[in-house]
Chains A and B, each alone.
Chain A
Amino acid sequence: MLAYTVRRLLGTVPLLLAASLLTFLLVDLSGDPLADLRVQQPPVPAEVIEAEEERLYLDRSLPERYVLWLTGIGGDGDIGLLRGEFGPSVRGPDYDIGQALAERLGSTLRLVAAALLLALGLAVLTGVVSAVRQYSAVDYTLTFVGFLALAMPTFWLGALVKEAGVWANQQTGYTIFYTVGATSADTRGFTAGQLLADHLGHLVLPTLTLMLTGYAAWSRYQRTSMLEVLNSDYVRLARAKGLPNRVVLRRHALRTALIPLTTVAAVTVAGTVDGVILIETVFQWRGLGDFFVEAVKRSDAYALMGWLMLSGTAVVLANLAADLLYGVLDPRIRHE
């Protein structure tokens, strides 16, 4: 198992390297970071533009720039992914991309973790209920909700939920729902308990909307795999032995039926990244999604590349984790 883990970890290196090349080409070829500066009125002096080009390494050739961005060899020490430097920002020499990413990582992880856990829990629950009560009114309702969730544009639902929160606050005259940002604007003087409550309060609405992305697909998969297991011989045997229904469902059926979900859940991580961008935009949540949108709008090339590498790494690691977990959950799989 250990050898397999190490081998798979090493296997991600070429994949990430290829992803870095794709990322670089995608961002670099799609636009000029200084396009706005060049057409600005009144015109910016040529020396200023040249200085900016030099600061952003735009005066070098494409292959040179890629190697520089990856390794930092021949740069001014502010670039080189392998050294942990993300490169200079168009926003000025004082703007540190790595620091900005690190600052926003926490609030995004909080949101994603809450949404994924809630989605997984609910998906397993409704999937199992749907399968056990197949073709009942409950099953039809849950199925329809699943289809509806699959067809729902996240941002539309998010905007609706947010406005509903604002409306509820106005109607009652109290701040029941927090609808903007990850924390209150001014948290000075809060006790630890108040701070926690403030954080949790801000999580509620965005989590509920983001949850939907994962829930829609997972609940359907959970229903399918649970149905398959319930119709299998060993479950019939367990029932024939006279085991109580509860034990059959929990100890025999559910454990096996959870295995396919691990793979599907890992694949959905990429979808969650998409969802985070939209939900953070709706709720003005200053996290990584918001950072991405801002970077695109400002054509901040190195910020975008850094962001893409971060999300790419997350996707690759999630897939790896699913593969390893598969081996733990399914005793038939042996990694030798």
Chain B
Amino acid sequence: MSELRTRPGAPTPPADPPAAARGTAHHGRLRLVLTRFARHRMAMTSLAVFVLTVLFAFLGPLLWPWDHTVHREILPNQPPSWEHPFGTTNAGHDVLGQLMRGTQQTLRVALTVSVLATAFGAVWGAVAGYYQGWVDAVMMRAVDVLMVVPLLVAVAAIGGNVRGGTTWWAVALIIALFSWTTIARVVRGVVLSLREQEFVEAARAAGASDARIILRHLLPHAAGPVIVAATLLVALAILLEASMSFLGFGIQAPDISLGLMIDNARTAAFTRPWLFYPPGLFIVLICLTINFIGDGLRDALDPRQTMVRR
């Protein structure tokens, strides 16, 4: 998937020297990354669409009169109309209201998973890579073992057993519990290659503690690959949450998520298409934009990547 980065809007020089030269070194790097990201047309479009989706999910419910619950005033089973642009369900839900809430819950889960799993995985990988030896061996064997259990299987086995309604944060916690392993591997790789370099030695000679070296000197260097992996984790978490809900192990009614909406409309593709297509298309749209954003970030953060066509 890595070539797409050089694709759109490519014929531009790699950097903007006057901009990069201004300010501190850190400032310059951030600016460089942003400039490079802004040149990635597909990623910028995706970012705009993603922001719109977030607004739709979190601001929409404040503006739209119907929420995701059953209302007696709503005529059940109606195709799209001016009053209900996405139609209504059998039980008397407004589908647009459901979509807003569903997208909201799905995004909440996915972003929480990404933050939790990235933080935990990064520290785990950094500690393993920094101390090496038996610490590394034990910690990375644990990662190997976790990776033996397929993700959906693990989260469904736990999620299916949680009685009395699964809330969105419980779903997020369960998914995060099993999805930090890739981040840990990425960070460990970076730390292993950095720990012998002079700046680490200098920090140690200056009396910095291990924790300080890991947090202030090593982890910032892993930021690039970690940000990319964290972005892709969002897409993964969205698909996982939807799969869990579809199997009946995720967020439960009366609350709603995009996966649950698909489950409810499973056989409606040809009879009541307004129930079937929107939640699926929303998932596709969100995952697609996130993958493109990840691709753009990969380009922007990788200094070896030239923006010139091969």
Binding site for B on A (CB under 8 A): 15-16, 18-19, 22-23, 26-27, 30-31, 35, 134-135, 140, 143, 146-148, 150-157, 159-160, 163-164, 166-167, 220-221, 223-224, 227, 231, 270-271, 273-274, 277-278, 281-282, 292-293, 296-297, 299, 304, 308, 311-312, 315-316
Instruction: Name 7 interchain pairs, CB-CB below 8 A, sorted by A.
Output: A30-B162, A151-B286, A156-B283, A278-B243, A292-B153, A292-B156, A315-B150
Complex CA–CA separation, A305 to B205 (angstroms) = 51
Please encode chain B, from 149 to 186, with 1 for each CB lying within 8 Å of some chain A CB and 0 for all others: 11111101110111100000000000000000000000
Pair B269/A163 contact, Cβ less than 8 Å:
yes
Report chain A residues within 8 Å CB of B144.
15
Report how far A167 CA is from B271 CA in the complex, Å.
Answer: 10
Minimum Cβ distance to chain B for residue A281 (Å): 6
Neighbouring B residues of A282 by C-beta, 8 Å? 266
Contacting pair A151 B284 (CB below 8 A): yes
Residues of chain B lying within 8 A (CB to CB) of residue A135: 7, 309
Q: Which residues of B contact A156 (CB under 8 A)?
A: 242, 262, 279-280, 283
Does B259 touch A at the CB level, under 8 Å?
Answer: yes
Is B90's CB within 8 Å of the partner chain A?
A: no
Interface residues on B, range: 35 or more
Question: In the complex, which residues of chain A have a beta carbon less than 8 angstroms from the beta carbon of B287?
Answer: 150-152
**Cβ contact within 8 Å between A147 and B243:** no
Residue pair A231, B310 in contact (C-beta under 8 Å): yes
Instruction: Give bound CA distance, A147 to B160, whole Å.
Output: 31
Are the C-beta atoms of B267 and A15 separated by less than 8 Å?
no
Q: A135-B7, A153-B262, A296-B249 are in contact. Are A270 and B147 (CB under 8 A)?
A: yes
Interface contact A153-B156, CB-CB below 8 Å: no
Taking Cβ atoms with an 8 Å cutoff, the residues of B that contact A are 1-4, 7, 141, 144-154, 156-158, 160-163, 235, 239, 242-243, 246-249, 259, 262, 266-267, 269-270, 276, 279-280, 283-288, 291-292, 309-310
Q: Are B151 and A270 in contact (CB under 8 A)?
A: yes
Measured between beta carbons, the chain B residues less than 8 angstroms from A312 are 148-149
CB distance from B232 to the nearest CB of A (A): 10
Q: How far, in whole Å, are A153 and B243 apart by their CA atoms in the complex?
A: 8
Bound together, the chains give a CA A292 to CA B147 distance in angstroms of 18
Closest to B152 in A: A274
A231 to B309, CA, bound (A): 13
- Which of A22, A224, A231, A296 has most B Cβ within 10 Å? A296
Set A155, A220, A221, A308: member contacting B262, Cβ < 8 A: A155
Most buried by A among B4, B267, B291: B4
Residue of B nearest to A267 (CB): B147
A18 touches B141 (CB 8 A): yes
Considering the complex, give the chain B residue whose CB is closest to the CB of A277: B152
A153 B283 Cβ-Cβ under 8 A: yes
Shortest CB-to-CB span from A114 to chain B, Å, is 19
Q: Is the beta-carbon distance between A167 and B270 smaller than 8 angstroms?
A: yes
The answer on a CB contact under 8 Å between A31 and B163 is: yes
How far is B68's CA from A143's CA once the two chains are assembled, in angstroms?
Answer: 36
- The CA of A143 and the CA of B162, in the complex, are separated in Å by 40
